[in-house]
Amino acid sequence: MIKKCLFPAAGYGTRFLPITKSIPKEMLPIGTKPLIQYGVEEAKSAGCNTMAIVTSKYKKAIEDYFDTHTDIEQNISGNSKEKLLEPLNSLIDSTIFTYTRQKEMKGLGHAILTGEPLIGNEPFAVILADDLCDNSGDTVLSQMVELYKKYPDYCIVAIEEIPKKDTDKYGVIDGEFIEYNIVKVSNMVEKPKPEDAPTNLAIIGRYILIPEIFDIIKETKPGKGGEIQITDALLTLAKQGKVLAYKFEGKRFDCGSIDGFMEASKYFSSNLL
């Protein structure tokens, strides 16, 4: 039902300098896999077969990664290393990767709008690869797709409770719980100061969006940081009663921060041994 997943991946990743000078943030490894592969695997688990990746001129490594590498493949052909590439190759063979480039960094809303030609007029998922999620049961995006089947006219954002002091790092929502884990959203604010935050329910990097969002983003004025924010565009839909927030099952690592990235490395290392 949701066939395409958009990955905004044009940012500079300056928090991780110097490594991000030549390695895209989305290509930083947790174990032997880059962050974006975890995102693509999650999107596949939720039934998405097309990855719509919004890149920039510095992000060629992403396109190369999801493609064949004939030199390496010839080099390892028939030896024990061959199996190391097999899971990635089968992911590549079974997935459509499409790309477009964002020429200016004008915010997450603008990045999503840049992906419009790759999405077209259908509902779609968005994964921010630096929010790495894990769950023993259904993945976070699968849980959201299940919910979308019940509420197909709504946008859905994933939320989690955060310490109130951290609200200025996230989009924060307010609204009314209609089930123990679902909020009908009435207000959303991008990165409010703790004293201005309506709640401590923070949006994390998983969204299901209806295609009307593109026209709304086009009308959305720059907000926090002078950037076009998806939170502000979604607020327009929330005021029409069309946004749900979902408290997901699972664990989420903020791999956009060094601490979160190190924590995720430790957590996933046990899976690699």
Least Å distance between CB 114 and ligand G1P?
A: 15
Please answer whether residues 142 and 224 qualify as being in contact, where contact means their C-beta atoms are separated by less than 8 angstroms: no
Residues of this chain, 175-204, that bind ligand G1P according to CB under 6 A: 190, 202-204
Asked whether position 232 contacts ligand G1P by CB under 6 A, the answer is no
Least Å distance between CB 108 and ligand G1P?
A: 5
- Rounded to whole angstroms, the Cα distance separating 191 from 179 reads 26
Asked whether position 13 contacts ligand G1P by CB under 6 A, the answer is no
Least Å distance between CB 224 and ligand G1P?
A: 8
Least Å distance between CB 85 and ligand G1P?
A: 31
Of the candidate residues 115, 123, 175, 256, the single one contacting ligand G1P (CB under 6 A) = 256
Of the candidate residues 38, 99, 170, 246, the single one contacting ligand G1P (CB under 6 A) = 170
Of the candidate residues 59, 231, 245, 253, the single one contacting ligand G1P (CB under 6 A) = 231
Q: Which of 233, 105, 225, 87 is nearest to 168 (CA)?
A: 225
String of contacts with ligand G1P for each residue 55-94, x by CB under 6 A: ----------------------------------------
- Residue closer to ligand G1P, measured from CB, 15 or 60: 15
Calculated CA dihedral for residues 128, 213, 60, 45, nearest 10 degrees: 50
Of the candidate residues 39, 171, 175, 223, the single one contacting ligand G1P (CB under 6 A) = 171
Q: How far apart are the first and last CA of the chain?
A: 36
Q: Which of 47, 32, 135 is nearest to 88 (CA)?
A: 32
Of the candidate residues 111, 128, 144, 255, the single one contacting ligand G1P (CB under 6 A) = 128
- The phi, psi pair for 132, rounded to 5°, reads -95, 125
Report how far apart, in Å, the C-alpha atoms of 5 and of each of 40, 64, 181, 263 are: 8, 19, 23, 26
Structure tokens belonging to residue 168: 């200025």
Asked whether position 205 contacts ligand G1P by CB under 6 A, the answer is yes
Residues touching ligand G1P, count (CB under 6 A):
13
- 19-29 core/surface letters (b: 16 or more CB in 10 A; e: else): ebeebbbbbbe
Q: Which of 101, 108, 103 is nearest to 127 (CA)?
A: 108
Residues that bind ligand G1P (CB under 6 A): 108, 128, 131, 170-171, 190, 202-205, 229, 231, 256
